Amino acid sequence: MPLMVKDIDTIMEQYAPSKLKESYDTVGLMVGDMKSEVTSILVALDCTLDVIEEAKLNSCNMIFTHHPLLFKKPNSITTDTLIGRKIIELVKNDINVYSSHTNLDSTLGGMNDIIMQILDFKYIRIMEHSSNEDSFGSNSGIGRMAKISKPITLDELCNKVKEKLGLKYLRYSGQDKKLIKNIAVINGSGQDYFNLAKKLGADCIITGDTTYHYVSDFNEQGIAVIDAGHFGTEWPSICVVSNYLKNRLGSMGFKNNVILSKVNRDPYKYK
């Protein structure tokens, strides 16, 4: 029996149920047909035009992404807009796009938990529990709090984050010699959870996409911030999710290729 798009949906509903998504989010099949037969799957963080070309070159008629292509619904689909060009190119080439976003962040064993494992942290609590906890008990939600048994300095923690996430650079605030014991980790863009992190006793927050005034205010309050980038805090987890999907399909007897994107890169450059 051939692999169908609906089979991928079933796998992801078991791993990261769509009911775990945040209210503002859009997840699941973005473009395509649930009854379509899948050739090969390209896994990426974002569905960029380069990723679409990569899918075509690798004969992949399915792209699996973390960030939803239709996060904001377009008013029209024309070549005058970037989203329009993407959708038209996907439809013309019969390429399906499926996205698991905040549901994949929240779920047990999802993006939040993977980044904690990569950083060698054991979480002591979920920062904000999912509003639909009936899916996976009390094990789902956004953000993780970790407590280090032996405090380390902020400088040491920055070096650890760079090493574990494979980063050349990161941004941070706080005193280099400040001892860190309680850490809040929110992959991607976690600035909306800064006040919650403070309430939960965080000495340091690790996330991406921070802005000046937020960081300045928390610096004044003695809470360190490590901004490892949106891409930097999510790409390592997407690599793990890609392997999960490959192994899951293999265990089900499917031989379809699951390819990790080689062109999906951090849009930021550093000198």
Establish whether 101 is an annotated binding residue. Answer: no
Question: Is 230 assigned a ligand-binding role in the annotation?
Answer: yes
Cβ count within 10 A of residue 171:
13
- The response to whether 105 counts as a known ligand-binding position is yes
Among 60, 133, 68, 69, CA closest to 100: 68
32 vs 61: CA distance, rounded Å:
10
The reply to whether 66 sits in an annotated binding site is yes
Report the distance separating Cα 173 and Cα 227, nearest Å: 9
Q: What's the maximum distance between 2 C-alpha atoms anywhere in the chain?
A: 60
- The answer to the question of whether 133 is labelled as a binding residue is no
The answer to whether residues 60 and 51 touch, using CB atoms and an 8 Å cutoff, is no
Q: Are 219 and 203 in contact (CB under 8 A)?
A: no
Question: What tokens were used for 44?
Answer: 């990426």
In the annotated binding site, the residues are 66-67, 105, 230, 234
In the annotated binding site for a divalent metal cation, the residues are 66-67, 105, 230, 234
